[in-house]
Structure 1
Amino acid sequence: MAGYLSVVGGLYVFQRNLMYHPNQTIATPQSFGVPEMKAERLPTPDGFPLLAWWRPPTTADAPVLLYLHGNAGHLGDRAEKVRPYLDAGFGVLLVTYRYNAGAGGTPSEAGLTEDGRTALAFLKAQGVSDDSIVLYGESLGTGLVVKLATEQRYRAVVLEAPYSSVADVAASIYWYVPVRYLLKDRYDTTAIIKDIQAPLLIVHGTRDRVIPVRFADRLFAAAVEPKQFLLIDEAHHTNLYDYGMGKLVLDFLSDLPARRP
């Protein structure tokens, strides 16, 4: 019993070390093949300068993609993923979190949500309207995107390898621990996704072992129309773009109705 309680206590104390993986690399767009993007620092209201890469849209009516990435890596790891959208003329804002790239913060669900709001405030300051913005979330970032999408109506929402809640995923891994009572950051996307008022696209790989498909199924079932769920056969958690996800997203966005007047 003492050993079990020690394991439970350790998981509780170090849970954020297991969930978030800080990376202090200060990547530059030029070093990762997207020289048209410009590095920016976006200060949060509580004083953390988030590293971001920004390229405005090439035409006034082009969408602007806000990309919120997963729990690990750096901006350069996502350069190839945003390339299709840059080539299509989209504006792209790729932003990392307060615990990365020398911003000086520590991770939490509340803090990362504020990071997302900071990115949206930057876009507003650039003159980008809400109905031009496509909220794009990758893995952990899907929970942030769902939360942000419930606060305002945007052009569209795209979720790459999402989850129903962090509690669901954690409980499947640490089945021997009462994780639902221990979690500090829950990202309970299933409970709020019904409040999204924008067209929704979920893309998942059939061989994803990090976030198995059943959790994306659960999330999709809770969402309201209009919504699409695309499964990519053979794809894993991190290689969806090797199987053509960029084209799937562009096709989805091209089929959306014209922007609201």
Structure 2
Amino acid sequence: MNFPIRKITIIIASILLLAYLFSNFWLYKKHSYLSFPIVKDDPYYFFGDKLVGLQLTYEKIELTGSYGNTSACILPSDSDKNIWIIHLHGTNNMYYSESNLWRYKTWNNLGINILTLNYITQEGSKQIASSEKMYQSALMAYNYLVTKSSVPYDHIIVYGEGVGAYPASKLAKEMQVAGLIIENGITSIQNFLKDLYPILIVSYLVEEQFNVHDYIKEVSIPSLFVYMERDDTYPNQHTKQLFEKSGSIQKRLVNLKDKSKDLKNKNIKTYQKAISDFLKELKLRVI
């Protein structure tokens, strides 16, 4: 009587083991696509019309460098304060994706000029090439402002969103800027995948990349960390950990409660106030 039960137990255990091994094999093969997904390419021709609808002006530019070229966009404000944000978005969209438009409008309303960019992608593909080329894309944007547009370095704020926290924190460490803002950042891709797949042996399968925690502890400039408590894209404990590890003595952590996709409708005033207060803290440096 016990034999069928024992046999069924062995079969179930074997199936579970095979499923576990397959899951680890899948992660090993596909983790690069999780780190560098095929970029969601919203049609660019809608971008200009939507900016006009938001009463925003823009200029499309090309960033060039030894690592490759990429497209970017300048959205000037009406202010004469010459404050700039370099916007480094996540790896799953373009600078002209609709999900970014509310940020541009909010920043412009605060008198901030914007330089937003796409990352260098693999040739003939819409997949981002590497974490290093993400940083080089950010560096090209910085050099464009400082050398071609003669923007003082202490008028530049670096804004890293999601995986964009990596090039943002590295740029804030390596170059002179006024301040750093991290929105829903990650500590590293390995830690991020451990949170997504806690039962898999991520440490043995995935090479450590996007080591934001290695750079943030050496960033000493004023820093603002923003996270959305209900956001399910990136675990919000990562932003909290980055705040704790930050080497800055002038830093703030702001919880905006909602999901990022709902923020523009529900909690935009709180977000705008967080950015505005951060600008006031930088008054002696940028305003």
Cα root mean square deviation, aligned:
2.6
1:47 corresponding residue in structure 2:
68
Partner of 2:275, secondary structure, is: helix
1:26/1:47 CA distance change after superposition, 3 Å: farther
Q: How does 1:68-147 map to 2 (within 5 A)?
A: 68-74=88-94, 75-77=96-98, 78-99=100-121, 106-124=128-146, 125-147=148-170
So what's the TM-score if we normalise by structure 2? 0.80
1:32/1:99 CA distance change after superposition, 3 Å: farther
Residue 164 of structure 1 contacts residue 190 of structure 1 at CA under 8 Å; is this kept in 2? yes
- 2:272 and 2:104 map into 1 onto residues whose CA distance is 8
2:23 corresponding residue in structure 1:
7
1:119/1:5 CA distance change after superposition, 3 Å: same
1:182/1:129 CA distance change after superposition, 3 Å: farther
Greater per-residue helix proportion: 2
State the shift of 1:57 in Å. 5.4
- 1:58 and 1:158 map into 2 onto residues whose CA distance is 22
Unaligned runs of 5+ in 1: none
1:122/1:104 CA distance change after superposition, 3 Å: farther
Are 1:213 and 2:236 counterparts? yes
127-136 or 86-95, larger mean C-alpha shift: 86-95
What amino acid is the match of 2:63? Answer: L
Residue 84 of structure 2 contacts residue 155 of structure 2 at CA under 8 Å; is this kept in 1? yes
Partner of 1:196, secondary structure, is: coil
1:23/1:58 CA distance change after superposition, 3 Å: same
Are 1:226 and 2:250 counterparts? yes
237-246 or 8-17, larger mean C-alpha shift: 237-246
- 2:260 and 2:192 map into 1 onto residues whose CA distance is 14
2:183 corresponding residue in structure 1:
160
What amino acid is the match of 1:89? Answer: G
- 2:77 and 2:48 map into 1 onto residues whose CA distance is 18
What amino acid is the match of 1:30? Answer: G
1:236 corresponding residue in structure 2:
259
- 2:43 and 2:129 map into 1 onto residues whose CA distance is 18
Share of identical aligned residues, percent? 21
2:51 corresponding residue in structure 1:
33
What amino acid is the match of 2:110? Answer: A
Residues 107-133 of structure 1 show CA distances to partners (whole Å, capped at 9, x for unaligned) of 321121111111112112211121110
- 2:249 and 2:190 map into 1 onto residues whose CA distance is 25
- 1:253 and 1:103 map into 2 onto residues whose CA distance is 38
Moved over 6 A (4+): 102-105
- 1:248 and 1:241 map into 2 onto residues whose CA distance is 14
Residues 38-84 of structure 1 show CA distances to partners (whole Å, capped at 9, x for unaligned) of 11121232233x12111345455331110011122232321221112
Residue 153 of structure 1 contacts residue 197 of structure 1 at CA under 8 Å; is this kept in 2? no
105-114 or 125-134, larger mean C-alpha shift: 105-114
So what's the TM-score if we normalise by structure 1? 0.88
Equivalenced residue count is: 259
- 1:128 and 1:103 map into 2 onto residues whose CA distance is 33
What amino acid is the match of 1:67? Answer: H
